[in-house]
């Protein structure tokens, strides 16, 4: 490639509209890579925290002691810990009120559902941005391509003899816009598909834990009621 057709020179010589398109695509690419690394860290941490909490929960530890340790960090809880804390706190509150075991379990499930929805919102945060970048960047790049080619052919009207050299710069800058659109879109689409699958798997783990935990609390509620009736 000659100096006159270097990528840097083509960008500098591009029309204002094409330069704006390229700048928007570059910004979208930088932001999407920031989100990609951020979500990678968030999902990795959520998976590790879920693994650690499940090991503690199913190790046979006393639920009351586990709740005390977890609730001591209220405000910093995430994932399964947050769901567990919300459910057990509601269970203790309803048990003091001596409500029916069925109503108690339903209240616990509602509390855990609220906590679970909060965790889902945190996990899905910014995923829509990746989807937007992945779906719109090629079209934004295509707009720059069409505009660049249109200017290249309009420029032919001011020359007496049309040659490849007269249209090459305009077409080249148009193709750069297309390439930048794909460069922004491809990583965003790949990351969105991967992270969406990871988030769905985490949500499934949270759902299963909430169901299992509510079953444990339901048995505990019936045990407490039977003990109270025997007394």
Average pLDDT per block of 10 residues along the chain, 231 residues long:
59 78 92 95 93 89 87 82 92 80 87 93 93 94 86 68 63 83 94 96 94 88 65 52
- What does the alpha-carbon distance between residue 10 and residue 134 come to, in Å, rounded to a whole number? 25
Alpha-carbon dihedral sign for residues 85, 222, 220, 95: positive
Which range marks the domain in which residue 210 is found? 3-230
Residue 1 pLDDT? 41
Residue 29 pLDDT? 94
Share of the chain above pLDDT 90, in %: 46
Note the residue count of the chain. 231
203: Cβ contacts below 8 Å, ≥ 6 apart: 116, 120, 123
32: Cβ contacts below 8 Å, ≥ 6 apart: 129, 130, 133, 184, 187, 188, 191
Residue 164 pLDDT? 62
Domain count, the chain: 1
Task: Output the pTM of the full model.
Answer: 0.81
Phi-psi category of 151—alpha, beta or left, where left has phi over 0 and alpha has psi -120 to 50?
alpha
- What does the alpha-carbon distance between residue 130 and residue 124 come to, in Å, rounded to a whole number? 11
Contact 86, 114 (CB under 8 A): yes
Residue 3 pLDDT? 43
């Amino acid at each position: 490639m000659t100096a006159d057709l270097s990528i840097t020179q083509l960008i500098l010589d591009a029309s204002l509209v094409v330069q704006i398109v390229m700048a928007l695509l570059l910004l979208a690419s930088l932001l999407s890579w920031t989100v990609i690394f951020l979500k990678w860290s968030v999902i990795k941490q959520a998976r590790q925290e879920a693994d650690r909490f499940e090991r503690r929960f199913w190790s046979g530890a006393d639920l009351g002691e586990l709740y005390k340790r977890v609730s001591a960090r209220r405000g910093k809880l995430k994932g399964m810990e947050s769901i567990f804390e919300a459910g057990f706190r509601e269970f203790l509150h309803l048990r003091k009120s001596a409500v029916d075991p069925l109503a108690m379990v339903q209240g616990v499930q509602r509390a855990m559902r609220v906590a679970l929805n909060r965790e889902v919102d945190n996990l899905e945060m910014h995923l829509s941005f990746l989807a937007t970048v992945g779906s719109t960047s090629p079209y934004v790049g295509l707009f720059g391509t069409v505009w660049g080619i249109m200017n290249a052919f309009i420029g032919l009207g001011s020359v007496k003899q049309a040659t490849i050299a007269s249209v090459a710069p305009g077409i080249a800058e148009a193709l750069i816009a297309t390439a930048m659109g794909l460069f922004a879109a491809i990583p965003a689409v790949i990351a969105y598909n991967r992270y969406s699958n990871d988030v769905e798997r985490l949500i499934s783990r949270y759902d299963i834990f909430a169901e299992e935990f509510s079953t444990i609390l339901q048995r505990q509620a019936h045990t407490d009621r039977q003990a109270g009736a025997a007394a």
